A and B are shown apart, each in its own frame.
Chain A
Amino acid sequence: MLNSLGREIPEYIEGIGKLEPFQGALTKLSKGWMDEPTIPAPNKAYLPHQSKLCKTLEEAIIRSNPHNGMTVSFHHHLRNGDILLVQTLTILHNMGIREITLASSSLNECHDPILPYLVDGTVTRIFSSGIRSELGHAISKGVLDTPVVIHSHGGRVRCIHTGKIQIDLAVIPASAADCEGNATGSHGKSAFGSIGYAVIDARYAKQVIVVTDNLVNFPCIPLSISQNFIDHVVLVDSIGDASKIATGTTRITNSPMDLRIAKLAADVIEHSGFFVTGFAFQVGAGGASLAVAKFIREKMKKKGLKGSFMLGGITSYCVDMLNEGLFETIFDVQSFDAVVSNSLLNNRHHIEIPAALYANPFNCGCITNKIDVVVLGALEIDVDFNVNVITGSEGKIRGASGGHSDTASGAKLTVVVCPSFRGRIPIIKKRVHTIVTPGETVHVLVTERGTCVNPAFPELEANLRKAGLNIKEIHDLEIEVDKITGIPAPLEYTDKIVGVVEYRDGTIIDVIHQLKEK
């Protein structure tokens, strides 16, 4: 069946179930309630003064009733510094557990060591907002029988509420925890800031293990995760390497190209009509996207403008802007470095939020509903403004849906920034490989060779043209870029589906086919 963007979606997939095709960004939300029934969270009972402490992670896992076909979940707040996902899967593998469903909020290069478990059937299903590196490549080549499910950050919460992801065991690394399982990421030697993605796991998993390298006296403050959801607590030597969270994403770039794009994007924002007192702002974590914050900061100071809040993945740059009084509040669902963790801990106006409050569309309004301006990146964008952030130019899975479609759906102004081509490969295409964010939620594309406005927003286009910005028709820009790079040969795929991309409302916006290897 075709979805509303013209992508062919199967009606049913073994191992996933019935699929509902995407029918527009706000179609399901407009109903005013969620159709899918939700599953109950587990009901447990504990006697007073029971000890939850286990000597090792293995002991905790043994106590948590591991079994074939179980679903194990993790958060990705330590990003590329995480070690516990690999450790946990290795323990389960060595115990002989098979057919595991892995539900990590995202997957990074540091998780490549689990590839053998995909090959030998230890792990058979994956839910994630993003997959990269060797894992992504192997999945693209068809190493799993069941397609992976790619969801957004908000969509993951919905998946857990509806039981699409049914977590048997949640392993929650925390940089500080007490013997009862109250836990946080905001202080400790491995501090990583917000632990927002793990909150839903703690609530819904049948068994929850908190793992920390910093056992503090009871109670662990703040109670980012609270003890009433925790079954077991383990003290280990290290939960991972917090210094690897950032991996270069939090500095303002030096690349002249990215800076140029960022400057042009800031000009667009300035003249969009949304750059007003009390505006709410979100930027991505690196490259041109973060650099936009630098130019917006200068413009805000020049105009004496104060914003309302910043949201998202938070870098130290955002904290600087908060401390300068340019914004009143930060809502933090993911913190990118130590400065951010510190601010989260000490500043009342730097607020830790769970993924549900951040981006789940099925409630009385998540915070992405209140964003005015968001700046996002792209791996590819097409002439209908659909954005691909999951598959690269070679067709390999190497990115993340993350908060992209969540924030784009809420923002009054969604600005996508990217170069018009990267290493000879055009980024603007007639049709992207994989749609993650639908064009109807994208207002402007800013590249170094011109800015394109979605024709659905003629007033915005008029404002930007009046301001003298370099506005081009996206079809013209696409042709211009093709002339510069030459038209690439199309990639070849088989009929086998290796990935299914959910929109935040649970409908399927696209599928990923297996790469044909010569």
Chain B
Amino acid sequence: MLYIPGNNPAMIQQGGIYGADSILLDLEDAVALNQKDAARTLVRNMILVTDFYDSEVCVRVNHLSTPFGLADLEEIVPLQPSAIRYPKTESPEEVIELLNIIERIEDRHGLPHDKMTLHAMIETAMGVQNVFNIASKFSRIDAITIGGQDLTADMNIIYTPDGTGIDFARKRIVMAAKASHIDVIDTVFPDVNDEEGLRRETEYAKKIGFTGKAIINPRQIDVVHEVFTPTDEEIRKAYRIVKEWRSNSAAGIGVFAIDGKMIDAPIVARAEYLLRLANVTVG
């Protein structure tokens, strides 16, 4: 997920060329307070005419408690981007209020309530505490993400490259996402020149269950893709597992072995998930 500041036309117009899975046009923290209106208008215009090719377009709006949030929603919801990212989500009540406003706007424009989805950003201690209730209760929320910078600020700790301070938060957020069967995206790695550090952090994120990572510079895309994309080897194995499972199930055989390893339902589920990630169907 490539972050693009919403007041930067040069970056927005090139947003789609990097092959990022999704692009986040940011009206919130990347835009100065006195340029919020300019960014909103620019992003609206750009979404209307720019081809972002295969990248999904999300927009991060300002929080409803700011003078800008409502105006952002009024402008952006009718454009129906892939998703709206909501910052500093702290409670299910907030989400209800947000969804009410979104649906009202959609009604006014004759738009359905189930096309555009919502990403909830967890960036405060309270948000971390309430994360399961936020993640599980709303069909329109299809991803939650952790905002590391703001979270360390809210916790009054210093950001360290090893991420110790936010480790519990990361894991708790992942767990809530898994229990709710939605995607969960890790926070940005700010040092653009440290490729090794990015790879280490991304591999850790993948290991503990994140399904994607936010990036702030196109140079980071390749590393994140490499870490999260299943290798050819993994895909071949998964394909074999699913294929044999299907033919064995049809023959009434429940549990079987491949290369001496027992293959049961959870392993098959994991293999099917991986094939979906890799866009491979079993013939």
Interface residues of chain A, those whose CB is within 8 Å of chain B, are 254, 256-257, 259-260, 263, 448-449, 480, 484
A259 touches B219 (CB 8 A): yes
B13 touches A256 (CB 8 A): no
Q: Which residue of B lies closest to A449 (CB)?
A: B17
B18 touches A260 (CB 8 A): yes
Chain B positions 1-58 with a Cβ under 8 Å from a chain A Cβ: 13-14, 17-18, 50-51, 53
A448 touches B17 (CB 8 A): yes
Taking CB atoms, residues of chain A closer than 8 Å to B222 are 263
Complex Cα gap A173–B19 (Å): 48
Taking CB atoms, residues of chain A closer than 8 Å to B18 are 256, 260
- Contact check: which of A259, A260, A484 meets B13 at CB < 8 Å? A484
Q: Which residue of A lies closest to B54 (CB)?
A: A470
Q: List 16 A-B contacts (CB under 8 A).
A: A254-B219, A256-B14, A256-B18, A256-B217, A256-B218, A257-B17, A259-B218, A259-B219, A260-B17, A260-B18, A260-B218, A448-B14, A448-B17, A449-B53, A484-B50, A484-B51
Give the B interface residue count (CB, 8 A).
11
Q: Which residue of A lies closest to B192 (CB)?
A: A254
Taking CB atoms, residues of chain A closer than 8 Å to B219 are 254, 256, 259
Q: Which of B17, B18, B51 has the most CB of A within 10 A?
A: B17
* Distance in Å: Cβ of A1 to nearest Cβ of chain B: 43
Complex Cα gap A263–B218 (Å): 12
Q: Is the interface of B mostly helix, strand, loop or mixed?
A: helix
The 10 closest A-B pairs by CB, nearest first: A256-B218, A448-B17, A260-B18, A256-B219, A260-B17, A449-B17, A257-B14, A259-B219, A260-B218, A256-B217
Q: Is the interface of A mostly helix, strand, loop or mixed?
A: helix
* Distance in Å: Cβ of A413 to nearest Cβ of chain B: 23
Complex Cα gap A90–B13 (Å): 49
Q: Which residue of A lies closest to B13 (CB)?
A: A484
Complex Cα gap A259–B17 (Å): 11
* Distance in Å: Cβ of A470 to nearest Cβ of chain B: 9
Given A256-B219, A260-B18, A484-B51, 16 more pairs with CB closer than 8 A = A254-B219, A256-B14, A256-B18, A256-B217, A256-B218, A257-B14, A257-B17, A259-B218, A259-B219, A260-B17, A260-B218, A449-B17, A449-B53, A480-B51, A484-B13, A484-B50
Complex Cα gap A131–B59 (Å): 47
Taking CB atoms, residues of chain A closer than 8 Å to B50 are 484
Complex Cα gap A484–B219 (Å): 24
* Distance in Å: Cβ of A477 to nearest Cβ of chain B: 12
Complex Cα gap A509–B132 (Å): 70
* Distance in Å: Cβ of A416 to nearest Cβ of chain B: 17
Complex Cα gap A480–B53 (Å): 12
Taking CB atoms, residues of chain B closer than 8 Å to A256 are 14, 18, 217-219
Complex Cα gap A259–B18 (Å): 10
* Distance in Å: Cβ of A298 to nearest Cβ of chain B: 10
Taking CB atoms, residues of chain B closer than 8 Å to A484 are 13, 50-51
